[in-house]
Amino acid sequence: MYRNIRIIHLIAGLLTAPLMFMYALSAIQMGHRSWFRLNAAVHEQQVAAPADCRNPRALAAAIMQSRHWRGELSRITPGTSCSFEIDTLGTTRAIRYDASTRTLLVRTSQLPAIGLINRMHHAAGLWHPSAAMRMWAVVVALVSIACAALVTTGVWLWLLRRRERRLGMLLITANLLFSTLVLSLLRTG
């Protein structure tokens, strides 16, 4: 029994260790914003427009295809000089169509690595149109299930160990009492 539970704990832990570390690091970053620099690197470029602006979605699709850009379309402003954004986590391309020159002004903002990790922490949900985001949502769900499994198997493993029983009981009781009390007080206002 002990061996089997240990194997489950080990597999869940090793499989999700990089992602758990990412969540922990980004949580600490959000709690201590002054410790990290999140300034995005910005650069602008002008590119030929593959279509005009009558249908901003079609224009966006054409430019994404020709430039091999991925992402989700947002902030669409229709008109003769339409604008829109193509977003991936950590990278935003703000695009404006210039009708006089039939070109697109592309302003790309790219977050540093810690910024991308921050965005990954916030991203979830199976509703996203992009396949990569939906894939990420599945990963988030699996990490969450693994987290619950790690807690369950961890407590189980501790219960099967005699030596750490007394201090362990004190610690888990303290945590559960604290959480029950604080959450009840918060919930009832």
Tell me which long-range contacts 61-67 makes (C-beta under 8 A, separation of at least 24). Answer: 63/95, 63/104
C-alpha distances (whole Å) from 3 to each of 29, 145, 169 are 37, 21, 22
Which residues between 124 and 183 bind other proteins (CB under 8 A)? 124-128, 132-133, 135-141, 143-145, 147-148, 150-151, 154-155, 157-158, 161, 164, 167-168, 171-172, 174-176, 178-180, 182-183
Question: What mask, x for binding other proteins by CB under 8 A, covers residues 67 to 96?
Answer: ---x-----------------xxxx-----
Which residues between 38 and 57 bind other proteins (CB under 8 A)? none
Single residue of 1, 31, 37, 43 touching other proteins by CB under 8 A: 31
Closest CA to 152 of 137, 132, 172: 172
Q: Is 64 in the site for other proteins (CB under 8 A)?
A: no
Rounded to a whole number, what is the distance in angstroms from the first to the last CA of the chain? Answer: 43
Q: Could you give the CA distance from residue 52 to residue 102 in angstroms, rounded to a whole number? A: 7
Single residue of 25, 51, 73, 105 touching other proteins by CB under 8 A: 25
Residue 58 or 151: which CB sits closer to other proteins? 151
Closest separation in Å from C-beta 54 to other proteins: 27
User: Are 75 and 66 spatial neighbours (Cβ–Cβ below 8 Å)?
Assistant: no
